[in-house]
Structure 1
Amino acid sequence: MFSNLTNFVYQRSAKQAFGFYLAYVILGVLIGAIAGGIAGTIVGSENAFEAGARTGTIVAVVYTLVLGLLIAKSKGLLNSFPTLLLIALAGVICFFIGALGGLIPIAYLSTRPSALDQSIQNVQLD
């Protein structure tokens, strides 16, 4: 379930994608909390919560988009419009719901087969 978490080329099963989702949600929440805490400390006591929440949202969106682009690049799917649309959708969902919702399309993307494997098979057949 939690194997190959940093291997972005790996095609995951549904169970492995759920483990990927859980691991990266926890990591995203930690990164967002640290960034929000730092922003809240810098701003001061008046608007600390607001600044922390805004910073956490920005960090979550960037985190989701970067993770999606890393997976797409590793799998050779950056030239695919549906893949780019899925990553953009993940960013929009993340903006409104947070990493909890934004990483769902990214976990789905991790279940897609690599285009690199298919091109290697095509070359071997020729």
Structure 2
Amino acid sequence: MKKLLFTLMFLINILGFSALQNGIYSVEKRHDGNWTSFVKLTVKDGRIIGAQYDRKNQKGELFSMSQNSFRDIALEISRNLISSQNVNSVTGKDAAAVSEFKEMSNFLINKANNGETGDFKM
């Protein structure tokens, strides 16, 4: 009986503290070469309902608007997260982009777990 009670309390604790809080979360990461990558997540009812991954140059021009191959990769990665709701299961054709997206998304998911909406920098 004690084991069952302990297990239930443990599960309630985990579920209570790991629920994503509603809001819009975004993070930017500056790179050498005068460009910045960013991820923006929208959370509603504890689920990621929107994800955007892109890069921009110093003028603010999005890579996805000028590079078709990057646009396809960014869309694939973003859709993968929305459908799976699991950063670890995100895959794509560009391993570097997937790795960057996962790093930035995990950062934002930690913020969403704490309800810290806003724009962040890495």
TM-score class, shorter:
0.3 to 0.5
Query: Which structure has greater strand proportion?
Result: 2
